[in-house]
Structure 1
Amino acid sequence: MEPQFRAIADHAMLVSFSDVINEKAHASVIALDRAITSNMPTGVIETVPALVSLLVSFDPVKTDHHAIESHLRANLKNLEMGRSSGTDREIHVCYEAPLAPDLEEVAAATGLSQEAVINAHLAGDFHVLMYGFSPGYAYLHGVPEQIQVPRKPAPVRGVPAGSVIVAGAQCLITTLTMPTGWSIIGRSPTPVFTGNPDHPFLFDVGDSVTFERIDLKTFEKLSKETTHG
């Protein structure tokens, strides 16, 4: 599909590359975002890359939708495509009870053993596609097809921060205690919040993520180290 441009209020332009999540569309989002941020047009305040679209916010006193769209179209003609050269991130995860309350259900739904589900998750090719509604809520794409399960019929409340959750092809590491309808297959002691105001979250859009399995004893040790810093 050809890129679609849509004016958002009086201060933003949305460029969409597809109606469905796919690697080509997201590569276009990252490439356009990189092109704009390397040579920021007059009046542009911020760019927000998402799954298949890019939001460009601007100061309506300094520029307008027509000028921003013209700049975007000019950049689209010379995009350097390919998978984003983000940073490789390693995340510890413990799949043991009681940290993985839905692991048994995922295994039953997929017809695999719990160990096979774990191994499949560890083998996933994960990349950060976007940030979501909660601080540090990075959407990771790359859950292997054999362990993809749908959202639950109803969300569960009080899911602890650090929970590793999956739904369809996506995976998340929760950053706050909150409800979720995704399946909880483990928990990570790796902090997503960095404490650095210039780079508050561990991930950037385009980063690749590898999960490393740890046991419960190691999880408890790393959690204490993180808490007491």
Structure 2
Amino acid sequence: MTPISPPHFPRIDSVGLDGVLVRFAGTLSEPANRAALAFRVSVEQASWEGVEECSTSLVSTYLRFDPLHVDFADLSQKLHSLIASQDWYAVKLPQHRRLHRIPTVYGTDLAPQLAEAAKAAGQSQEQAISTLSTTQTRVTTIGFAPGQPYLGTLPPEWDIPRQTGLTPLVPVGALVVAIRQLVLFSVSTPTGWRHIGQTAAHLFQPTQDEPFLLRPGDEILFPSIGREAYETLTSDPTGGIISEPL
């Protein structure tokens, strides 16, 4: 039986003078993302003196520490002990996650690259909409822009490359696809990913107590809606999003 843990991982690396990165893989996989999310929670629960920040990327957990209160060697020893305490690739996902249903209009002039992306995935537009609207993806990490999620993973046929060029601008709420992942944009920005859906979601609300709507580990569905339904949702502060505990 092939082990889930990839060779040479987990691995602990120093990052500058005050950072530590615990890597669970070199490329994205469900077990490695699961490990990173669960490991972060355990580090936060441990409340080690001198650790000032903890966050996750796709397959890693990052710690920022105060070198005046703890040195890298001592912190590294604690991390090695925590790593050895259980199989992080098989651990349960953290509690208090949520499932969000985010209504999405696919294609039309709002998301003009659906046909191109579907062709690259070897599907018709109808098949693509069926797949994209029913596949439940996980927020693997938040990054690039405030509150912006990377979501994965899609079925293997959606391992399509990024564009060779750059789309000059996509709007807030744009759903884009590449390399078996979706990104839902929290800001208007250029992108090399194909714009296949449009939502009325506002993921970054800086005036709220919790400015980021989504958190790593949350699950997302993008049910398909028509153009008229989307236009109605643009005046809805929630964008029609329905959230529930997992």
1:120-171 Cα shifts (integer Å, max 9, x gaps)? 1012230011112211121101222233321000111111111000001110
Instruction: Give yes or no for the alignment of 1:166 onto 2:177.
Output: yes
Q: CA deviation at 1:196?
A: 5.4
CA distance in 2, matches of 1:110, 1:73: 41
Question: Does structure 2 retain, via aligned residues, the 8 Å contact 1:194–1:201?
Answer: yes
Structure 2: where are the runs of 5+ without partners?
A: 1-6, 240-246
**TM-score (ref. length: structure 2):** 0.86
Answer with 72-81 or 93-102: which moved more.
72-81
Percent identical: 29
Check 1:3–1:148 CA distance in 2 against 1; reply closer, same or farther (3 A cut).
closer
Question: Does structure 1 retain, via aligned residues, the 8 Å contact 2:40–2:54?
Answer: yes
Report what 1:78 is aligned to.
85
Q: Give the counterpart of 1:18 among 5, 13, 25.
A: 25
Read off the aligned partner of 1:158 and give its amino acid letter: L
Q: CA deviation at 1:195?
A: 4.1
Cα RMSD after superposing both structures: 1.9
Read off the aligned partner of 2:200 and give its amino acid letter: P
Report what 2:71 is aligned to.
64
Check 1:53–1:227 CA distance in 2 against 1; reply closer, same or farther (3 A cut).
closer
CA distance in 2, matches of 1:70, 1:112: 50
CA distance in 2, matches of 1:63, 1:197: 34
Question: Does structure 2 retain, via aligned residues, the 8 Å contact 1:161–1:175?
Answer: yes
1:3-36 Cα shifts (integer Å, max 9, x gaps)? 2111111111111111121112112111211111
1:42-89 Cα shifts (integer Å, max 9, x gaps)? 011111111111110011111111121112112112246133442111
Question: Does structure 2 retain, via aligned residues, the 8 Å contact 1:94–1:215?
Answer: yes
Instruction: Give yes or no for the alignment of 1:215 onto 2:209.
Output: no
Report what 2:143 is aligned to.
132
Question: Does structure 2 retain, via aligned residues, the 8 Å contact 1:143–1:166?
Answer: no
Read off the aligned partner of 1:114 and give its amino acid letter: Q
The list of structure 1 runs, each at least 4 consecutive aligned residues, that deviate by more than 6 angstroms after superposition, is none
Question: Does structure 2 retain, via aligned residues, the 8 Å contact 1:117–1:147?
Answer: no
Read off the aligned partner of 2:111 and give its amino acid letter: A
Structure 1: where are the runs of 5+ without partners?
A: none
Report what 2:110 is aligned to.
99
**TM-score (ref. length: structure 1):** 0.92
Secondary structure of residue in 1 paired with 2:104: strand
Report what 1:40 is aligned to.
47
